[in-house]
Amino acid sequence: MDKSIKECVPKTKRAKDLEYVKTNYTKVDKAEMTTHFKLLTTTVYDGVSGVRDHIIKLRHYFNKANEMKVELGEKFLKWLILESLLVSFDAVKLTYNALKEEWTLEELMSIVVQHEVSLKKNETHSLALVTDQEMTNRRKSLKHEECVYMGDGSKGKMVARTKKEKIDRCGSTLDLIHIDICGPLTPTALGGYKYFIIFIDDFSRFGYVELIHEKSDSLNVFKAFKAKVELQLGKLIKVVKFDRGGEYYGRYDETGRNPGPFTKFLLECGIDARYTMPDTLQQNGVAERRNRTLLNMVRCMLSNSSLPEFLWGEALRTATYILNQVPTTNQGEHGDQVESGLPVDDTVVNEVPLRISQRVHRPAISDDYMVYLQEHEYDGYDAFDPVTYQEAIHCPQFISWKEAMNDEMNSMYMNGVWDLVELPHGCKPVGCKWVFKTKCDSSWKIERYKARLVVKGYSQREGIDFKETFSPVSTKDSFRVIMAIVAHFDLELHQMDVKTAFLNGDLDEEVYIEQPTGFVEIGKEDLVCKLNKSIYGLKQASRQWYLKFDRIITQNGFKENTVDRCIYLRVSGSSYIFLVLYVDDILLASNDPDLLIEIKHMLSTHFDMKDLGETSYVLGIKILRDRANGVLKLSQRAYIEKILKRFNMHNCKSTKAPIVKGHKFSKAQCPQNDDEREEMRTIPYSSVVGSLMYAQVCTRPDIAFVVGMLGRSLSNLGSQHWKAAKKVLRYLQRTKDLMLTYQRTSLLDVVGFCDVDFVGSLGVVDSISRPLKLFYDNFAAVAFSKNTRSISRSKHIDVKFYFVKEKVAKSLIDIEHMSTKNMLADPLTKGLPVIAFQEYVSQMGLLEA
């Protein structure tokens, strides 16, 4: 009997009174025990009063039942607390059931209260009361409406507006995978598929889609997906996120929640599972949004292609592939690149870093200007050439690249380029790298593989690592003059190549470089290379090579041309030979085969030379000769085809002229606002103009005027400039077979043409004693040049133009009048009618093959 009740009973000596009280008290105790036990087992959390008060209330009922000698146990109380909670606390339930160690009642209360605080903080807008049936975890399964994707109207794309929240992205691949199943879709796809399941990596947003027959197939598909991505990336999946579908979450029965095979598999693999709240699709927004995007694309594909509706599975795979190729907004990279860490078809892979600072900045131009480590300006980038040493040793052409690297290193050792020494205190070695290039012939067939060890010269310091850098090269004007002389006098024309030309230059400064990758000597890893001679990549390398070549060649009887310092002439009696130097390419033109052989032997004595025999292809120009008729032709067909393909114009429609009469360039065609400038920012205009300019200066004078006009707008181009540049490409597509032709004539003479819209300077060849003929189509100008008197009507003429009168007076220039119809300078100064332009082109010597 309770002590409080005993104190209320008056003292009595009769035993029957006490017996009566005992009997009545016992009956009341049973009724109260029933009440407390019923409250204990039926009370559920309403989601309003707070989970802490709810647990305290259950503990009170539990203590009352224990006072009535009902042995329930604390473990039973914890089970009752968990089962009385809402479905939003299922994560706590799953954690409690998965752990082997037992929680105390205080720990359980603390964890549940903390979970409720987190739910209220993140999901206050989506919490809703559930029905009594849901509270007892016996809710009926929701009926899924069929997802009908046919039709591409706007109604099919309308969705309810949801509240946007800032969501933190994961920092690495496979940290979080979003999963969702969509379907059933009608009609059934090929293979009997009605659903598709999607897996999306949170970091890279790379998506995987698989078609399935039933939702129960999701586990087998996930196992295959898990094995594939973990093997390829060398990482493990950490967290997966999906809704509370029965195929993932499991089912409830009379014993409580019964986890399904998917949940059990996740527990076995140690993968954390995150579930969304009921009726809150936005919590799995990544997967839901991707489903919507894919179905929109599928609708449009099937509608526009008029394909049968049961092919939605094939359209879905295509849409997934397309989305995976699109760079992500957050990463700015392709999905494949983010996932694997490897570059995906990067066009500018040989870009030279031009600054030492590591500060990250936004580039001013994305893809207009490209800097390449190349030997000649006509060299183009080959996307299949390795970029690094590691790529070279793992590519299919490894043996060829290895042999090329061995040849390069043998040249280094034979020329005594460096000595291995300890790095002096206070000095910093310059880095080096391998540059790989596939050399092709005139038909772009692979001729050989070339590997070049290049110093990272951009890290050199002026005044310490180098002083002077300038080095001359022969001009294309000189090259064409030599070709005209070869054609007229039927000279022998041969070509030689200097192997590792820059290694011949002697250094005046002390330069230390790191040992080359892949050729570090064992046991001498801490030593550096002290350069004895110049090497490719050094800022002064080309200059040192030229100085040594010039010294040796002049010591052997050659004289340097005063206008072009890379043109040399040697005269021996009636025999003579021209030598043209372009970096490490040498052209030899002579009227005496014996003298030609002698010079080849002399060059081979001083340098490591490669005799290429008669010249057929040099500087990206193919040379064709018909010596019987005294004809020499220069063709750049292969180069033109390459630039057309590079700018995706190889299948374009052709046009008859690059510019026509009346077409003007003006400031009005430049961008007028920031939006127009931004639109043109990614256009490769500068690359197109540069490529056209090389063709123009070599063999295509017919595009000189339009290329010069296009070059004025490099920094402020508009859409009209871009259209004009593409028109030039279309013209080259039509005329790529034209060759600059030189023919033997009865009189070799130097002739110039001048037009009123064009001012230029003409060089004089001192070997020709006759005055230079300059044709002009303006009578007044011709008369003024020959009139020595000063008249008042000529006071407006600038003094510098009297230079021409002086040359005419000294009989160095002879100016003659020519009709405008025959003025070859016209297409170099203005646009002309198509027929007139084509006539001028043939008169320039540009003839069909």
Q: Report d(CA 438, CA 416) in Å as an integer.
A: 26
pLDDT surpassing 90 at residue 63: no
Q: Which CATH architecture has domain 147-157+169-340?
A: 2-Layer Sandwich (3.30)
**Among candidates 738, 652, 653, 657, which has minimal Cα distance to 695?**
738
The pLDDT of residue 330: 53
Mean pLDDT of the chain: 77
Give SS3 for 140. Answer: coil
What pLDDT, on a 0 to 100 scale, did the predictor assign at position 827? Answer: 74
Question: Does 335 score more than 60 pLDDT?
Answer: no
Q: Look at residue 149 and give its three-state secondary structure.
A: coil
pLDDT at site 280: 76
> Cis bond leading into 187, ω under 30°?
yes
Give the pLDDT of residue 816: 75
Q: Which is more confident, 82 or 147?
A: 82
Cα gap 112→649, rounded to integer Å = 67
pLDDT digits (tens, 9 = 90+) for 295-311: 999 988 888 888 888 88
The span from the CA of 807 to the CA of 309, in Å, is 83
Q: Considering only 36-50, 233-247, 533-547, 765-779, which range has the smallest mean pLDDT?
A: 765-779
Choice between 779 and 372, residue whose per-residue pLDDT is larger? 779
Q: Which residue spans within 163-216 are E strands per DSSP?
A: 176-182, 185-186, 195-201, 207-212
Supply the angle between the helices 74-83 and 90-98 in degrees, to the nearest 10.
150
Decide if pLDDT at 639 tops 80: yes
Element (H, E) at 239: strand 239-242
Long-range pairs, 375-380, Cβ under 8 A, ≥24: 375/437, 375/583, 375/584, 376/582, 376/583, 376/585, 376/619, 376/620, 377/694, 378/619, 378/620, 378/639, 378/694, 379/437, 379/620, 380/642, 380/643, 380/646
Give the total residue count for the chain: 849
The answer to whether residue 316 scores a pLDDT higher than 70 is: yes
How confident is the model at residue 605, as a pLDDT?
Answer: 92
Say if residue 727's pLDDT is above 70: yes
Q: What is the pLDDT at residue 155?
A: 43
Residue 44, Cβ density class (10 Å: 0-12 exposed, 13-18 middle, ≥19 buried): middle
Dihedral angle computed from the Cα positions of residues 838, 839, 841 and 844, in that order, rounded to the nearest 10 degrees: 180
**Closest-CA residue to 184 (of 61, 73, 313):** 313
pLDDT over 60 (residue 160):
no
| pLDDT (0 to 100) of residue 143 | 44
Q: Is 812 a residue whose pLDDT tops 70?
A: yes
Give the pLDDT mean for 366-392. 55
Across the range 339-351, mean pLDDT stands at 48
Mind listing the pLDDT tens digit for each residue in 600-633? 999 999 988 889 899 988 888 999 999 888 899 9
Residue 9 has a pLDDT of 60
pLDDT of residue 844: 72
Q: What is the pLDDT of residues 554-586, one digit of tens each?
A: 999 999 988 888 999 999 889 999 999 988 889
Q: Kindly indicate the confidence band of residue 209, based on its pLDDT and cuts at 50, 70 and 90.
A: very high
Q: Is 749 exposed, middle or buried (0-12, 13-18, 19+ CB in 10 A)?
A: exposed
Instruction: Please identify which residue in the block is written with the tokens 């920092």.
Output: 171
C-alpha distance from residue 337 to each of 57, 326, 384 (Å): 56, 11, 18
Q: Which residue has the tokens 């100016």?
A: 815
More confident residue, 807 or 513: 513
| pLDDT band at 164; cut points 50, 70, 90 | low
In terms of pTM, does the model score above 0.85? no
Report the alpha-carbon distance of residue 678 to residue 670 in Å, rounded. 12
The per-residue pLDDT for range 265-290, each reduced to its tens digit, is 888 899 988 888 777 777 888 888 89
pLDDT for residue 211 is more than 90: yes
Q: How confident is the model at residue 21 (pLDDT cuts 50, 70, 90)?
A: low
User: Which sign, positive or negative, has the C-alpha torsion 710, 712, 714, 720?
Assistant: negative
Cis peptide before 516 (omega within 30 of 0): no
Residue 70 has pLDDT above 90, yes or no: no
Contact indicator for 246, 144 with CB cutoff of 8 Å: no
Is 180 strand, coil or helix?
Answer: strand
| Mean pLDDT across 164-180 | 78
State yes or no: pLDDT of 137 exceeds 50: no
Q: How far apart are CA 438 and CA 440, in angstroms?
A: 6
pLDDT band at 383 (very low <50, low <70, confident <90, very high): very low
Domain with CATH 3.30.420.10 in the chain: 147-157+169-340
Helices within 565-673 (DSSP H only)? 593-606, 637-646
pLDDT digits (tens, 9 = 90+) for 469-522: 566 778 888 898 999 999 989 999 999 998 878 778 878 788 888 999 889 988
What are the tokens at 668? 């009005």
* CA 226 remoteness from chain centre: 29
φ/ψ region of 557 (left if φ > 0, alpha if ψ in -120 to 50, else beta) reads left
Measure the CA angle with vertex 191, ends 190 and 192; round to 5°: 95
Is 147 a residue whose pLDDT tops 50? no
Name 509's Cβ contacts closer than 8 Å, sequence gap at least 6: 464, 465, 466, 467, 540
Residue 128 token pair: 């809703």
Which pair of tokens denotes residue 479?
Answer: 């090259």
191 against 788, higher pLDDT: 191
CA 549/CA 556 separation, integer angstroms: 11
Say which range, 86-100, 139-153, 513-527, has the weakest mean pLDDT: 139-153
Q: 92-132 pLDDT, tens per residue?
A: 777 777 776 677 878 888 888 888 877 776 654 443 333 33
- Residue 564 has a pLDDT of 87
Is the confidence at residue 4, as pLDDT, over 60? no
